[in-house]
């Protein structure tokens, strides 16, 4: 069932992706002839139109290049001019849509500037990643579209992530369509974070695995927002978003591989630890270098991607070996570890390395593969937790049964002496807390030794059984009936003072006397009564007073009830 749901989600994602591509196909791509003019200096805004007019007139200075690839610029070039002729089209409100990374530029239509982004000069934190919509006049067909571009980074100069000419309404819709994958993946990522938080707070098991995965998903959620287009509609800070994007890119592999570290066997953990250390060192170099002005977060991206592909292949191999040897967690994690990096590599071929002419956005879908691993781990752990809980409950039940058996007298079914101290302590505490009375009856069968000697112990046991059965008929839930030893019994009387307890004792004495417990033999009992005194004295004094009252009843002829005050 889970597999069917997973594939259903995958099909929906594919449909969204295809619909997005279909919508893009309806627009005009500027795939005509593109030319570039490499500039080694910036032209001021007030002189740019005159310079452009002169440059265009001298067509020999312009060279063709394969758009959308980067023009073949000289080393350390920071300025370039790009130009093309706008194609024919029938748009009511034509709009040019494109995205740039770490570039500032001006846009000219037939030598007249119609749009500018940034100051076209060096900036400490550059210009970030941003999309642009440039309105064109209705008579745009056949006119020259020219860009004057500047970048701190020569490897970024003259590159557009995508460029489309279309009606303004469809361009706006396209802006959201580009983010379809991000929109789909974001709630799934947040949902996974919440699941792991709840699991961590409730279970407290395997906490490192889930903390690492939780942090990974958090950085992935940050990356989804930073990489999306629509974020700029709410917070238009391209530079900040760009650095948040880079931070998440450098951080995700660290926590992804820490998750692997928690899953893989102990004999392979050292290898994964080295992989984690590599990513940490690389991230620190990138961040520290950026802070001191070396622009390392941008320049290290290419070696980061290339080395990351090699390193992650090695990690995947270790997981594959682990899975082959029977590690189910490694087998499931291998799916996530393969799915997410492969999706990122596919996007990177177009977005970063420009090896392919198109820019795709399938990386967000890679999170479903990793989420599948997390759900598998959580499901497994929940089952194990439930099994342990059931086992603990069974053990508790067994312990309770054993404990109860150890506190029950096998012959009379009364509580035995093992229960006495526990029951007395509990009842004394309850009496002190509620300020309610507590009394004790100590009962002894008269001349019981003579019964054993005359009739034998089997008959004596029969007498004990019938004796306790008779007494039980006079007790209720307030009374705790205990066989203290031999023929001695104790009854703890909750919410009863010594007067009420003595009345119960007298009722028991008469009932025993009137009952036939042994043919041709009258059986009687003597009872001593005392009341708990909440004066800081110990429980032993309470018991001793009952014992002294019982001793007095025997000395005064037996078959009597004596209260402690009558001693």
As annotated, the active-site residues are 487
In this structure, what token pair is assigned to residue 189? Answer: 């990522």
Residue 150 burial (CB count, 10 A): 21
Q: Which residue has the tokens 């809980």?
A: 389
Phi-psi region of 528 (alpha: psi -120 to 50; beta: other; left: phi over 0): beta
User: CB of 261 within 8 A of CB of 318?
Assistant: no
Residue 109 burial (CB count, 10 A): 18
Helix ranges, 325-358 (H): 328-351
Contacts 24+ apart (CB under 8 A), 236-242: 237/128, 238/127, 238/128, 238/129, 238/130, 239/125, 239/126, 239/127, 239/128, 240/128, 241/128, 241/129, 242/101, 242/102, 242/126, 242/128, 242/129
Q: Which residue has the tokens 């053990």?
A: 395
Rounded to whole angstroms, how far apart are CA atoms 424 and 543? 10
User: Do you find a cis peptide bond into 287, omega within 30 degrees of 0?
Assistant: no
CB-neighbour burial class of residue 250 (10 A; exposed 0-12, middle 13-18, buried 19+): buried
Closest CA to 561 of 521, 524, 515: 524
357 phi and psi angles, rounded to 5 deg: -80, -10
User: CB of 417 within 8 A of CB of 485?
Assistant: yes
3-state helix, strand and coil shares in percent for the chain, rounded to the nearest 5: 55, 15, 25
């Amino acid at each position: 069932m889970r597999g069917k749901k997973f594939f259903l989600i995958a099909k929906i994602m594919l449909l969204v992706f295809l619909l997005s591509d279909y919508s893009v196909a309806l627009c005009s791509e500027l795939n005509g002839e593109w030319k570039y003019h490499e500039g080694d200096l910036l032209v001021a805004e007030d002189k740019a139109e005159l310079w452009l007019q002169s440059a265009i007139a001298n067509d020999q200075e312009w060279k063709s290049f394969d758009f959308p690839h980067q023009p073949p610029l000289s080393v350390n070039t920071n300025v370039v001019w790009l130009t093309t002729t706008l194609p024919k089209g029938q748009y009511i409100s034509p709009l040019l849509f494109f995205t740039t990374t770490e570039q500032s530029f001006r846009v000219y239509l037939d030598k007249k500037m119609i749009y500018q982004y940034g100051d076209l000069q060096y900036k400490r934190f550059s210009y970030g990643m941003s999309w642009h919509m440039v309105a064109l006049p209705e008579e745009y067909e056949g006119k020259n579209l020219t860009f004057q571009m500047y970048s701190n980074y020569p490897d970024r100069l003259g590159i557009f992530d995508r460029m489309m000419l279309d009606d303004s309404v469809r361009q706006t819709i396209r802006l959201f369509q580009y983010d379809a994958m991000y929109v789909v993946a974001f709630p799934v990522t947040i949902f996974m974070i919440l699941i792991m938080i709840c699991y961590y707070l409730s279970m407290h098991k395997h906490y490192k695995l889930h903390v690492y995965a939780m942090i990974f998903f958090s950085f992935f959620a940050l990356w989804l927002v930073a990489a999306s287009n629509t974020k700029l509609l709410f917070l238009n800070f391209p530079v900040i978003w760009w650095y948040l994007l880079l931070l998440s890119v450098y951080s995700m592999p660290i926590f992804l591989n820490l998750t692997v570290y928690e899953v893989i066997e102990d004999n392979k953990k050292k290898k994964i630890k080295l992989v984690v250390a590599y990513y940490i060192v690389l991230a620190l170099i990138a961040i520290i270098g950026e802070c001191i002005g070396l622009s390392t977060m941008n320049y290290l991206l290419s070696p980061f991607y290339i080395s990351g592909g090699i390193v992650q292949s090695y990690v995947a191999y270790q997981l594959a070996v682990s899975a082959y040897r029977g590690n189910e967690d490694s087998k499931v994690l291998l799916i996530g570890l393969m799915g997410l990096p492969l999706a990122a590599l596919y996007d990177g071929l177009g977005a970063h390395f420009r090896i392919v002419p198109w820019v795709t956005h399938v990386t967000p879908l890679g999170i479903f593969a990793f989420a599948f691993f997390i759900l598998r781990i959580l499901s497994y752990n929940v089952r194990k937790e439930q099994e342990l809980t059931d086992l603990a409950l069974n053990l508790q039940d067994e312990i309770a049964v054993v404990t109860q058996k150890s506190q029950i007298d096998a012959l009379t079914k009364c509580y035995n002496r093992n229960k006495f101290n526990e029951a007395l302590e509990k009842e004394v505490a309850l009496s002190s807390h509620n300020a309610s009375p507590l009394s004790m009856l100590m009962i002894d069968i008269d001349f019981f030794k003579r019964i054993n000697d005359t009739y034998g112990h089997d008959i004596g046991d029969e007498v004990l059984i019938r004796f306790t059965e008779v007494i039980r008929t006079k007790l209720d839930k307030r009374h705790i009936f205990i066989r203290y030893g031999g023929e001695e019994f104790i009854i703890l009387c909750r919410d009863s003072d010594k007067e009420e307890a003595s009345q119960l004792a007298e009722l028991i004495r008469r009932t025993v006397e009137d009952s036939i417990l042994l043919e041709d033999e009258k059986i009687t009992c003597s009872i001593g009564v005392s009341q708990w005194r909440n004066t800081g004295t110990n429980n032993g004094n309470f018991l001793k007073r009952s014992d002294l009252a019982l001793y007095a009843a025997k000395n005064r002829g037996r078959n009597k009830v004596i209260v402690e005050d009558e001693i």
